[in-house]
């Protein structure tokens, strides 16, 4: 049982992923873009962040980089379905080089997401990125 911040601009996708996480017995707070997520992160200490990469306003890469620079960086799972300009594979490859615990490709199954959450929560706390 953990507190997870879920960031995705598509409300229907958010509902689905929230449903998955609730099946796993987790508590979920939602944000629809990177900017909103920053506010949530300041207000609440979460155990894990699950973020989409391609979003309007402030994208997933920004969330990853800015939260990695905080004093207590959260664990992060990035999840993407590609973008009109960059393919899923390219985005996943970029995300893998960033301070994230796991990178997943859409569509993701309930099982795969919950396993990734489990692994991320069990992993040691990340260090602040200087």
Partner 1 sequence: MKQIFKNISGLKSMFTLFLGRFLPLALFTLLAGGAIFLLERSSHLDLLYKFGKIQSVDERSPLTCALQQHQLVTISTVTLLALLIAAPIAWMRALRQRNDLIVEHQNRENLRSIKLLLDSTIEGIYGTDEKGRCILANRSCARLLGYSSPEQFLGKNMHQLMHHSHADGTPYPETECRAHRMITIGTAPALVTDEVFWRQDGSAFPVSYSVHPIQEQDRIIGMVCTFVDISERRQLEDQLRHAQKMEAAGQLAGGIAHDFNNILQIISGNTQILQYDLKQTSPDPPQLQEILKAVERGTALTRSMLAFSRKQTINSIPLELNQLVKDSQLLAQKLLHKNTTLHLELTEAALIITADEVLLQQVLFNLITNARDAMPTGGTITVATAERLLDEQSIGGTKDRKPGTYAVLMVQDTGQGIPEEIRQKIFEPFFTTKEVGKGTGLGLAMVYGTVKQHGGFVQVESQTGQGSCFSVFLPTVAACLMPNRNGTP
The binding site for partner 1 (CB under 8 A) comprises 10, 12-13, 15-17, 19-20, 23, 54, 81-85, 87-90, 93, 105-110
Cβ proximity to partner 1: between 27 and 107 the closer is 107
CB 32 to partner 1: min, Å: 14
Q: CA–CA separation, 76 vs 129, rounded Å?
A: 14
Q: CA–CA separation, 40 vs 106, rounded Å?
A: 24
Cβ proximity to partner 1: between 98 and 110 the closer is 110
Instruction: Cite the DSSP H helix spans in 27-124.
Output: 34-43, 60-68, 88-96, 110-122
Cβ proximity to partner 1: between 2 and 86 the closer is 86
């Amino acid at each position: 049982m953990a507190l997870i911040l879920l960031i995705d601009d598509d409300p229907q996708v958010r509902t689905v992923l929230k449903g998955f996480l609730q099946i796993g017995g987790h508590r979920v707070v939602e944000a629809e873009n990177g900017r909103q997520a920053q506010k949530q992160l300041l207000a609440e200490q979460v155990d894990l962040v699950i973020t989409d990469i391609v979003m309007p306003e402030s994208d997933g890469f920004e969330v990853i980089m800015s939260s990695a620079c905080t004093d207590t960086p959260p664990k992060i799972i990035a999840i993407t379905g590609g973008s009109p300009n960059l393919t899923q594979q390219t985005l996943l490859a970029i995300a893998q080089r960033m301070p994230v615990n796991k990178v997943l490709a859409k569509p993701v199954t309930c099982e795969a997401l919950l396993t990734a959450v489990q692994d991320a929560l069990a992993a040691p706390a990340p260090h602040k990125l200087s």
